[in-house]
Amino acid sequence: MSTIRLGDEAPNFTAQSTEGEINFHEWLGESWGILFSHPADYTPVCTTELGTVAKYKTEFDNRNVKVVALSVDGLESHKGWVNDINETQNTEVNFPIIADEDRKVAELYDMIHPNADSKLTVRSLFVIDPDKKVKLTITYPASTGRNFDELLRVIDSLQLTAYHKVATPANWNSGDDCVIVPSVANEDIPGLFPKGHTEVKPYLRMTPQPNLK
């Protein structure tokens, strides 16, 4: 186990899941990916999280993002719990859940934080780009469910900034103005950003979001 940092290649693995055996890199293919862990099956916050992710399938599909969950419970436990998620969250779980009973993947991705819980995975989440590079890591404790609207917002920023020489300012949402990255010379701005720009300070140059009509 080693800490996974932004820009690292996402480690590959083969694991059993509710949708059969997964070779992670092959399963990702050309897509973006989210690998996220939760502490345990049949727990309340996790039930709401997985139900929420199932309801966001169209949002993930629109962004070319595949999602896979993980906990250190077994396959039969996962399958039984999925019925509860579907029933209580009024949805159909539509993504695989990895059964990581031997903690192979949890250890590979440093998802067990012994000073938080010696046995269970914390709420780790990794966003992986089509080159299999880690673009985002977040870690929440068991007591705090994640905000999946924020996750979509960050994915919008990651995908925009991967292809355009912009960064996104505080509280940015898709459609808002963006920051031109400092490495762009002033003379190159008109060619790169034909919608125009505003120089607030020499180091703070704003432009309309470049990938919108």
Give the residues lining the site for ligand BEZ (CB under 6 A).
39-40, 43-46, 142-143
Closer residue to ligand BEZ (CB): 119 or 195: 119
- What is the closest distance, in whole angstroms, from the C-beta atom of residue 69 to ligand BEZ in the complex? 12
d(CA 27, CA 128): 12
**Catalytic (active site) residue 46:** yes
d(CA 177, CA 169): 8
Closer residue to ligand BEZ (CB): 142 or 184: 142
Closer residue to ligand BEZ (CB): 143 or 183: 143
Ordered DSSP codes for 106-124: HHHTT---TTT-SSS--EE
- What is the closest distance, in whole angstroms, from the C-beta atom of residue 53 to ligand BEZ in the complex? 14
At 142, is the secondary structure helix, strand, or coil? Answer: coil
The CB-nearest residue to ligand BEZ is 45
Contact (Cβ atoms closer than 8 angstroms) between residue 111 and residue 139: no
Give ∠ CA 177-136-121 in degrees, rounded to 5: 140
Catalytic choice (4, 46, 93, 105): 46
Catalytic residues: 46
